[in-house]
Amino acid sequence: MERLGVVFFFVASWLLAGVVVAHHDHGVHKNYLILVRRPYEYDRRVYKDVSSWHASLLASVCDQAKEELEADPANAPRLIYSYRNVVNGFSARLTTDELGKMAQADWFVKAVPEKTYQLMTTHTPRMLGLTGPTIFHSGVWNRSNMGEGIIIGVLDGGITPGHPSFDGTGMPPPPAKWKGRCDFNSSACNNKLIGARSFFESARWNWKGGDDPVLPIDESEHGTHTSSTAAGAFVPGANAMGSGVGTAAGMAPRAHLAFYQVCFVGKGCDRDDILAAIDDAMEDGVDLLSISIGDDNAGDFAADPIALGGYSAIMRGIFVCTAAGNSGPDVATVANEAPWLLTVGAATTDRRAVADVKLGNGLEIRGESYYQPSTYVSKLRPLARDTAADGTCSDKSVLTSEQVSGKIVLCYTGGNLTNLQKGSILHDAGAAAVIIVSQDWAGSVISPKAHALPAAQIEYKSAEKIQAYMNSSKNPTARLVFRGTVLGNRVSPIAAPFSSRGPSKQNPGILKPDITGPGVNIIAAVPKPEGLAQPPNELAYKFDIMSGTSMAAPHISGIAALIKKAHPTWSPAAIKSAMMTTTDIRDRRRMPILDYDGHHANMFALGAGFINPTRAMNPGLVYNLSAHDYIPYLCRLGYSDHEMNSIIHPAPPMLCAQQPVVEQKDLNYPSITVVLDEEPYAVNVSRAVTNVGNGKAVYTASTDEVPPTLSVTVTPSRLRFSALNEVQTFTVTISSKNVRLKKRITEGQLKWVSGKHVVRSPIVVSSKKFFQNQKNTTSTDQHTAG
């Protein structure tokens, strides 16, 4: 099943459960992540490495593993991965009896069953202001040297070696710190694509020697697309199906790419593989991780590979950018909720491939299509529709030549066929063109795909006008009007309907998603466009459009690389803060950004707002956090000492009883989320900001965008800085004038304003009942797109 921006893999039930039958052994085995109690560590005098120690632990409770280890100490098939950085533990295959025996060992903390996760451009650099008006203007690219020398690690489903987006011509060699490897041959590995590895654990288990035999080839489009969006090279003439022609480039076109394949067709994205890839990426020397993978039911942070690996990464100063997920517009569906991760939602760009429908009565209906063949003659033709009840054109027996030949056919998205398959059936029956109606949940956001016929895709509500016309006319007619690619749509960005929404289930006191980026109809590199039978030019074979938070995340990853290049000493939290406090909350009309349904988008859809890279390069103030600052916050969430030590590995062991109390609201986060539920219906929030702008500066607090139902007081109301990197603290007192907020949420803004900067933090206020209601809400709709 295909969802917007996400390839959902059909996985056999036995593989989903991680069930295998081991060689030379009896009984059913399952994959587990085994957490080892700290301060247990391996003795370097006894074991040559961590893997040898973990193999001995496994052998101590598993007779089969002991026999295998004694027969060949270098090969332990039951031991899948031995983790060095991301967690104190290993993943292994065990029977139920063996797991019970292991649970009695003094070094054992717990075993977490295997879990499978899912995978959640030519114009966006200019739209986001990276290029500047001219080559002489100090655009973000000029100020950051396009990310040169920064290494972006991408975890995804494969990459296409030799694609022009990964051409290394003119690229400098990677920095000396790079210790990774590229498993492709020398013609595919270059100074752009410096790393490429596959983490297919089943292959590793059966493999008996040498390097991993599985090459990270992209069997879908996802990994190539996300990688080129983050750091693709310049490719003039790139286009999707002949539309959107321009020079393709990633956000950081001179950054290096290191690719880690952790997702596979027919297998999905296994937790053990994700942890192993992050483990190696940290040692390889990456500066950032871009991860368009997730699960909106991932569970707590102590069992989530992206949260676990992400924490270990930020301990080393590695920025981690993740996708929010594609389970919107339902609330409380956001994935990748850990506060040390940057969580990215998706919104539209200002580009449209206009393909309007003009009815015989003169009414014009807005539509889009990237497939606009130059041979199509725009003239009035008979208008037909599927006579089946659902109108989806999924029944081939109904779509006969007598019914559709020479006509334009109206078809609704849905049924048991993709829109591409429907077009093929209509083409074979002699239809002239097709009008595709988007699903009602998509609202105003249209995501065109490849078609077998000239096509226009329209909003669901627009179909009502076509239906009314057809009902009122004996001989309805229509024509498609292809207007090419149009830039500068003023009603943009718009929050994408599929983009997962907050509040966070794991930590409702932290606003998630954090930020929004371009994620709808993004043109980027692919191995080969799906369904494009007759490409209009050679490069149309190498680029395609995709939509999803998977596309939004690498935009932000690439921009983070630019900021890191310009500010190499900034922490991951400082980079996050710079982006979150400088976002846009208004569209190109200077009106509040809209949601897909035409209403104002709230912060659970947008996070802090839509990325503005120009302002993020010079934010003035940042809300900084070290990796250690998250420890008391996690203790307050209720994690045990053993779980805490699993999360913060490889930091020294700690006890929550020795940590200060830090409520969720008081984590030094760039956004503010509070609950007003008890008298006196007021709460104090503590924050600290670091001066990264001018040496001397004065900032004044502004709360003029706070709604009248709230009272917000900032103490002190003015911050005076005399030096760079100086830290000042303040308290925000938030109270409700209406006593109880009940089930509602209320939003506002806190701004610190100087002569040169506006540092904005979103404020979300609600009740415990609201958050509990959202936490108990589950998303059951599986939105699909043809």
Active site residues: 156, 222, 550
Query: Which tokens in the block code for residue 194?
Result: 């410096």
Q: Could you give the CA distance from residue 80 to residue 404 in angstroms, rounded to a whole number? A: 56
Q: What amino acid is encoded at 294 in this protein?
A: G
Please report the sign of the dihedral spanned by the C-alpha atoms of residue 575, residue 576, residue 582, residue 583.
Answer: positive
Please report the sign of the dihedral spanned by the C-alpha atoms of residue 222, residue 224, residue 225, residue 226.
Answer: positive
Per residue, the 3-state secondary structure of 86-143, as one string, reads CCCEEEEEECHHHHHHHCCCCCEEEEEECCEEEECCCCHHHHCCCCCCCCCCCCHHHH
Helix and strand numbers, DSSP H then E, in the chain: 20, 39
Residue from 341, 328, 340, 251 nearest 606 by CA: 328
Q: Which helix (H) or strand (E) holds 732?
A: strand 727-736
CA 409 remoteness from chain centre? 36
Q: Could you give the CA distance from residue 270 to residue 93 in angstroms, rounded to a whole number? A: 14
Q: By 3-state DSSP, what share of the chain in percent is helix, strand and coil, each rounded to 5?
A: 25, 25, 50
Report whether 65 contacts 79 (CB < 8 A). Answer: yes
Pairing of strands 79-82, 89-94: antiparallel
Report whether 251 contacts 561 (CB < 8 A). Answer: yes
584 beta partners: 610
Q: Could you give the CA distance from residue 180 to residue 185 in angstroms, rounded to a whole number? A: 15
Report whether 524 contacts 247 (CB < 8 A). Answer: no
Q: Could you give the CA distance from residue 751 to residue 702 in angstroms, rounded to a whole number? A: 5
Residues in the chain: 786
